[in-house]
Amino acid sequence: MKIIHSQLQKLLPGLKTSPQQTANDLTLLGHFCAGLEKKQKEEIIDLEIRQNRADCLGYYGLAKELSVLHRLPLSLPQYPQQKFKTNPVPITVTSPNGVQRLLACTLNQIKNSPSPPWLAKLLTLHDINPINCLVDLTNYIMIYWGLPCHAFDQGKIPSGLVWEDSTRSQSFTTLDGTVLNLDPNTLQIKSDSNIVSLTFIGGKNSKVDLDSTDILIEMAVYDPTRVRHDSRQYKTITEASVRLDKFLDPNLIPLAFSHLISLIETHCQGQISSDLFDFYPKPTQTLPITFHPEKVNLFAGISIPKQFSLTTLKSLDCQIKKEKNYSVTPPTFRPDLNIEEDLIEEVIRFWGYQHIPTNKPISSRKFKDITPPLVYFIEHIQKILISLGYDEVRSWPLISEKQAPKNKKGLVYTENNINNHFPILRHSLLPSLENQVYQYQRFKVHPVQIFEIGKVYYQNKKGFQEKYQLGLYQPNLSILDKNLRELFKSLKIKPSCPSLNISPPISPYWEIDLEKLIKFAPAKLTKTPAFPNPPQTKSYELKKQIITLDANLILKEKKSQEKLLKIYTRKIGERYLWSLSITDIYHDPQTKKYKYSFRASYFNLSSAQAKKIHLKSFNLV
Amino acid sequence: MLTQKIGKEYKKNIKNSSSFQELESLRVKLLGRRGLLKQAFTDLKKSNPTQKKIQGQKLNKLKNNFEKLIIQKTKELKALKPLASTLPSSPTPRNISQSHKFGHLHPITVTELEINSIFRSLGFSVYDGPEIETDEYCFQRLNVPPDHPSRDLQDSIYIRQPTFLLRTQTSSIEARLLKKEKPPFKAAFPGRTYRNEKVNKSNHFIFHQYQGVAVDKNISLKDLIGTLDTLFKHLYGPKAKVRYRPKYYPEVEPGLGLDLVCFSCQGQGCPLCKGAGWLEMGGAGLIHPHVLKIAGINPKKWHGFAFGLGLDRWVMAKYQLSDIRTLLGGNLAYKPQEKTL
């Protein structure tokens, strides 16, 4: 939701804070400022409005918030009382569950024109294209009050309008010309047999243009779930749908609708030609909530004066009655206030979370340790494996059909996974490790010895199951065998134990069920953490293949290998050097010189760049 | 100021360290450029001359002690035989040897362990829960209304069986914890979560969260904010600036969002924080009374707080990763150690 600071000041003439300060104030009230920019000499604040605060999807709601914060009065638009005629509005509503409230009337003798500059500029700053004065006024009212409304050219809807749930498939062309194929049970607005609008987007066949003289305007609040369902189903998100798919206040409609009529009368010379149609089968009401001001302190953990609580709630338009306790009835534009905790939150919100001390953490008193033994056990395995030189990887838990076992027994399929090539939750860690090794080979990372501790998934008679496995990859089988022995020795588990039944590895990939293994682990490894101080790690994001180049250096005398490596590491620079090693030293008895063979690997460089650095560093140019 | 208690604790940790990595991590924490001692010396500048002299002597003594201890421990560790070598037991004909090589933990694991360690010091247990979840634990028990957008197919990844899905948040573990354990308790839990999002440089359908829950009598927002601030100050130093603002989450009331001053631009605005100067780190709040009630916990007697932090962007910034896919993508690698003949 974008707001122009100067427009906000029109509703709150006493607001003297800078745009930056207003943005901060709104953020600290819970409306996160995602950006502040200057356009056409106006300061625009971009706010993220939360799902439960639809009342703040317009200037009115946000001004109300600031008026409570700064205890400033609101200045609402003034206009003369509107006089409606006796002619009925030709509207029928056959979907009483879909429509919560609908106000409508007709106006004639309209003189439509392009919008005045102030209106066109305002809408442009809100990223809404100006169309013509009538349409733009409906959009203006939407961003002012947060309530969408729509104008129909009456000449294009001769038999009036019907709000109904569709019973058959039909196509509908939106204002921007997009054709939607509507399914049955879509809430729609029809004239004769034509669909002229949906709840959240108007139709091309009834649109208002510069020639329109007689119009029907309406403002409605619907069942938000219906609007969300319909707009998502037809993948059409509009400024109207963003508002209508939330809980809007039907009781605010008369105020906003009168404002719209007065603006049309002023800017398009329109005259009311009908009665006011008001469909409101179940008027919205809010229930009183018992409020204990002392609970505010309990929840906040600090002392907030009772008077502040009561004044804040009163400023929010809550009705307060003093009974045994306080009985607080929230206004209908705040459907998010339902229980006492909601009222407490309001008080703390306006007091300011920033006034709660930050240096008093929860007491470090220990309760019963409810850590599952497997959590400790996994930490100990991680510690042993890194001490054995293994690097940890984490991979996708989803695999392709090709990687799944042929019999497909017990596999868990996802219904709507984003990547159709990987629809199955892995039954084993080995396919994931294979993918990882393949990736490392692509990037020419070697030598590789890796492990992963992760979940595998399957289903059986008991339903969906998941368990932790350990997977290892080491290309040299004798090293793998030795490492496994070391692992079991450190875990104090005998791999020869018949119930474990571990045989020497026959493949570079090896895995074991940790839930099975833990049964043989000593208590120390399942009851204490392994890392009082977690180790540091330094990892790199590879974007290109590693380039490996050799260099020979002839030296007059023998030198320390460590020193040489240090010198050339510094010369090449850590930024692109992946690894450096001395692969050979040859002493020529004839020349009495020493030949040192170096192998340098470079990362995130093209081969030409790597070669350039290599030649320069080893003075080979 | 580095207190005697902390000093003693670190001395004990140095003595108990079982690996070079552990020792190095302690050295960096204590004596590194941004270490505790450096910070203590910086803070000392603000003190009056008398205090400066006394405290300065104390700190120098502490520094010398730490240095001596670390040197001594390094010698002890060198004298120990390595646990194992990655090389074959028989030497190659050219007699290639290699100093002991340590492997690496994944940056997500390291971050989780760091946070676990902080919460353990505050008396929390580390908990776990299933990834394949039911609608009940993922939504119903967390007060998520039936029409909430997160329940849509567009947002959640469902299993081919009605009402089962891959957990969209680690709060599902919270729902299980509340049902299973009797208060009072404190638990923290890292975990993998899933959402039906298109994968690109900054979004992934798999991501990592860190959640914490405490249920006790008289728990307040002050406890929650103080706990979260302790966490961030441990991770980012005593000057880390965190902002707490109201935010709506169905499972908490009151709810709050927490932002950290962008560690890349220090609040000036940069591409990482999209110009806002703040990075959104997660959400928190006091557990909603309905959530406690559904779990069979009396909300009149017990209060609780819960928080959830997104780990991926955090880890990306810390490890200078430009693409979220790297975390699970196979191109995250660790440099091998130097090799000599």
Give domain status of residue A541, yes or no: no
Neighbours of B38 (CB within 10 A): 14
Lowest model confidence (mean pLDDT) among A408-422, A575-589, B120-134: A408-422
Interface test with B, best of A246, A353, A437 (most B CBs within 10 A): A353
Residues of A in contact with B234 (CB under 8 A): none
* Nearest of B259, B274, B253, B267 to residue B229 by alpha carbon: B259
Q: pLDDT band for position B83 (50/70/90)?
A: very low
Report whether pLDDT(A145) > 80: yes
Average pLDDT over residues A513-535: 90
Four-residue CA torsion sign, A347, A351, A352, A357: negative
Q: Note whether A293 and A258 are same-domain residues.
A: no
Q: Count structural domains, chain A.
A: 5
A396/B122 Cβ within 8 A: no
What is the average pLDDT score of chain A? 93
Residues of A in contact with B197 (CB under 8 A): 418
CA distance B225 to B209: 19
| pLDDT confidence of residue A421 | 84
Shortest alpha-carbon distance between residue A172 and chain B (Å): 24
Q: Are A37 and A46 in contact (CB under 8 A)?
A: yes
Q: Note whether A394 and A310 are same-domain residues.
A: no
| B283: helix, strand or coil | strand
- For residue B120, give the amino acid letter: R
| A115: helix, strand or coil | coil
B220/A357 Cβ within 8 A: no
A29/B123 Cβ within 8 A: no
Q: pLDDT band for position B89 (50/70/90)?
A: very low
Give domain status of residue A471, yes or no: yes
Residues of A in contact with B110 (CB under 8 A): 534-537
Report whether pLDDT(A373) > 70: yes
In the structure encoding, which two tokens stand for residue B222, read together? 């002050």
Average pLDDT over residues A65-81: 94
Give domain status of residue A75, yes or no: no
Q: Note whether A105 and A252 are same-domain residues.
A: yes
Q: Of A103-107, B249-253, B308-312, give the range with the top mean pLDDT.
A: A103-107
Lowest model confidence (mean pLDDT) among B53-67, B211-225, B299-313: B53-67
CA distance A332 to A575: 61
Report whether pLDDT(B274) > 80: no
Residue A477 contacts B, CB cutoff 8 Å: no
Q: Note whether A216 and A159 are same-domain residues.
A: yes
* Nearest of B207, B209, B211, B210 to residue B328 by alpha carbon: B207
Q: Note whether A175 and A253 are same-domain residues.
A: yes
Cis, peptide link before residue B184, omega less than 30° from 0: yes
Q: Are A210 and A132 in contact (CB under 8 A)?
A: yes
Chain B residue closest to A466 (CA)? B130
**Residue B306 to residues A324, B216, B250, Cα–Cα distance (Å):** 33, 12, 12
The hierarchical CATH code for the domain B107-328 is 3.30.930.10
Cis, peptide link before residue A116, omega less than 30° from 0: no
Give domain status of residue A532, yes or no: no
| pLDDT confidence of residue B149 | 66
Average pLDDT over residues A215-231: 95
| pLDDT confidence of residue B88 | 28
Average pLDDT over residues A446-455: 91
Report whether pLDDT(B90) > 50: no
Lowest model confidence (mean pLDDT) among A285-294, A461-470, B39-48, B289-298: B39-48
- For residue B67, give the amino acid letter: E
Structural domain that includes position A602? 547-617
| Residue ranges of E strands in A58-132 | 91-93, 99-108
Report whether pLDDT(B91) > 70: no
| pLDDT confidence of residue A277 | 97
Q: Please tell me which residue, B51 or A342, carries the higher pLDDT value.
A: A342
| B321: helix, strand or coil | coil
Return the domain boundaries, chain B: 4-79, 107-328
| A196: helix, strand or coil | strand
Q: Note whether A105 and A225 are same-domain residues.
A: yes
B247/A32 Cβ within 8 A: yes
Residues of A in contact with B329 (CB under 8 A): 439
The structure tokens 């000057």 sit at B239
CA distance A489 to A486: 5
CA distance B231 to B124: 13
Model ipTM value? 0.87
Residue A502 contacts B, CB cutoff 8 Å: no
Give domain status of residue A77, yes or no: no
For residue range A320-337, list pLDDT tens digits in order: 999 888 999 999 999 999
Provide the CATH number for the domain around residue A330.
3.30.56.10
Lowest model confidence (mean pLDDT) among A502-506, B62-66, B93-97: B93-97
CA distance A125 to A2: 8
Residues of A in contact with B86 (CB under 8 A): 388-389, 449, 479, 483
- Which residues 263-282 of A have a C-beta within 8 angstroms of B? none
Give domain status of residue A382, yes or no: yes
Average pLDDT over residues A59-82: 94
DSSP assignment letter at A203: B
Four-residue CA torsion sign, A54, A57, A60, A66: positive
Q: Note whether A574 and A506 are same-domain residues.
A: no
| pLDDT confidence of residue A240 | 96
Give domain status of residue A360, yes or no: no
Share of chain B above pLDDT 90, in %: 43
Q: Note whether A518 and A553 are same-domain residues.
A: no
Q: Note whether A115 and A176 are same-domain residues.
A: yes
Nearest to A415 among B103, B160, B256 (CB): B160
Q: Note whether A295 and A268 are same-domain residues.
A: no
Q: Are A383 and A419 in contact (CB under 8 A)?
A: no
| pLDDT confidence of residue B338 | 59
For residue range A302-316, list pLDDT tens digits in order: 999 999 999 999 999
The structure tokens 């990362």 sit at A603
Shortest alpha-carbon distance between residue B218 and chain A (Å): 7
Q: Note whether A140 and A244 are same-domain residues.
A: yes
B254/A356 Cβ within 8 A: no
Share of chain A above pLDDT 90, in %: 82
Provide the CATH number for the domain around residue A559.
3.30.70.380
Give domain status of residue A39, yes or no: yes
Q: Please tell me which residue, B148 or A112, carries the higher pLDDT value.
A: A112
Residues of B in contact with A343 (CB under 8 A): none
In the structure encoding, which two tokens stand for residue A28, read together? 């600290």
CA distance A591 to A575: 37
Q: Please tell me which residue, A449 or B263, carries the higher pLDDT value.
A: A449
